[in-house]
Amino acid sequence: MRLPADRSRWLVPGQARPGAPRLYCFPHGGGSAAEYARWGAALPGFEVHAVHLPGRGARPAEPPLTDLDSLVAALVRAVPFGVTGPYAFFGHSLGALVAHEVSRVLWEAGEAPPGHVVVSAFPAPSRVRVTAPVHDLPTQELVTEVARRHGGLPPEVLASPALRALTANALRADYRVLETYAWRPGPPVPVPLTVFAGRDDGISEAELRAWGAHTTEPVDVRLFPGGHFYLREDTPAVQRALAGALTRPRRAVGV
């Protein structure tokens, strides 16, 4: 039986909207749930809940989860997705992979999957690239390499040894999740899928469209100006596109 949700640990809720579909947002590697919880004001048709992983933010004393299977299993045990009604997923970068795997595990377990999944800045799982691992680098090298590859780290983090160490702990755990992940072929999930990406992120359109092999539903690909963190360059435009994707009449969220 599913454990009750402990929203003070696993979820950072946005504005309460009883009866509205829930949108669960999965942050990027080393990312903060608070960034996505703030999106609620721009998405009035949804009740936004940002996923908050152990080992960061208000959960610094908890050991981080460092492999995808354990991370997905913990989320599925802790959060009763779908119990409160229709819901959807948004995941950015590593969060895209986590969102997809959670929806796949829920469906395979016979539970209601999300009505729509929006994946962002991540190639299809079957096309994930093998790159030089960074999760075992020393703190300074780890933070520097992640900043070089993707940007997105605030200057104050790069300038402060204390903040660098805290950030590196989350980055190390999340990059270990990514760098030890091995795609396992399986049946496609019957969930509508939308793919967002920045035009300058270096992910090819073929890698984005390859998400079509992971769902039985049509896949829409939407490109935005910018790089890996395109969604910070024009957040309102991304939020409008997200709301449009989730409310597209092709399939109602949660049905």
Q: What is the pLDDT of residues 31-49, one digit of tens each?
A: 888 889 889 989 999 999 9
pLDDT at 161: 75
In a domain, 191, yes or no: yes
**Has residue 143 been placed in a domain?**
no
Domain extent at residue 51 = 7-128+182-246
Domains in the chain: how many in total? 1
CATH at residue 117: 3.40.50.1820
Question: Residue 1 domain-assigned?
Answer: no
Residue 182 has pLDDT above 70, yes or no: yes
Question: Do residues 63 and 54 touch, judged by C-beta distance below 8 A?
Answer: yes
Assigned domain for 64 exists: yes
Q: What is the mean pLDDT of residues 105-133?
A: 90
- Reply yes or no on whether the pLDDT at 173 is more than 60: yes
Q: State the Cα–Cα distance between residues 201 and 240, nearest whole angstrom.
A: 21
- Averaged pLDDT, 190-201: 96
Token pair, residue 224, equals 């935005």
Residue 210 in any domain: the answer is: yes
Gap between the Cα atoms of 248 and 241, Å rounded:
10
Q: Is residue 139 part of a domain?
A: no
Q: What is the pLDDT of residue 6?
A: 53
State residue 130's pLDDT score. 65
Q: What is the pLDDT of residue 155?
A: 75
Cβ 150 vs Cβ 124: under 8 Å: no
Average pLDDT over residues 10-22: 91
Residue 106 CB partners (closer than 8 Å, separation 6+): 76, 81, 82, 112, 113, 114
The set of catalytic residues is 93
Compute the distance between CA of residue 188 and CA of residue 178 in angstroms, rounded to an integer: 21
- Alpha carbon 138 to its chain centroid, in Å, reads 26
Q: Let me know if residue 230 belongs to a domain.
A: yes
Measured CA to CA, the distance from residue 19 to residue 28 in angstroms comes to 28
Residue that wins the pLDDT comparison between 132 and 117: 117
**Does residue 25 lie in a domain region?**
yes
- pLDDT confidence bin for 71, thresholds 50/70/90: very high
